[in-house]
Amino acid sequence: LLIPFLNILYTSLKKEKSKLILIGTLLVITGLSPLTNVISINNIKLDIFPDWWVNIYPFLYYFVGCFIKEYKPFKNKKSFMIILLIVLLFIETLFSYLFSQINSSNFSRGFLGGYNCILTVAISILFFLVFYDVNIKNKFIDNVLSNISRLSLEIYLFSYISDKIVYKYFNTIINNPKEYLNYAIIVVTLSFSLALIFALVKDLIFKAVAFSTKKIKTK
Q: What was the pLDDT predicted at 103? A: 65
Whole-structure pTM value: 0.78
Contact between 112 and 96 (Cβ < 8 Å): yes
**What are the phi and psi torsion angles at 174 (to 5°)?**
-115, 120
**pLDDT tens for each residue of the chain, 219 residues long:** 899 999 999 999 999 999 999 999 999 988 887 777 666 656 666 677 777 888 899 999 999 999 999 998 888 888 999 999 999 999 888 887 777 777 666 665 556 667 888 888 999 999 999 988 888 889 999 998 888 989 998 999 999 999 999 999 988 888 777 777 888 899 999 999 999 999 999 999 999 999 998 888 877
- Other Cβ atoms within 10 Å of 165 Cβ, number: 13
**What are the phi and psi torsion angles at 202 (to 5°)?**
-60, -40
Q: What was the pLDDT predicted at 7? A: 96
Three-point CA angle 175, 178, 180, nearest 5°:
75
Angle, in degrees to the nearest 10, between helices 118-131 and 78-102: 150
Gap between the Cα atoms of 183 and 160, Å rounded: 19
Q: What was the pLDDT predicted at 108? A: 59
- Other Cβ atoms within 10 Å of 204 Cβ, number: 10
Handedness of CA 171, 176, 180, 186 (dihedral sign): negative
Helix or strand (DSSP H, E) at 65? helix 57-71
Q: What was the pLDDT predicted at 63? A: 96
Q: What was the pLDDT predicted at 97? A: 79
Q: What was the pLDDT predicted at 98? A: 79
Long-range contacts of 88-91 (CB under 8 A, 24+ apart): 88/119, 88/122, 88/123, 88/126, 89/123, 91/119
Going by C-beta distance under 8 Å and a sequence separation of 6 or more, which residues neighbour residue 85? 123, 126, 127, 130
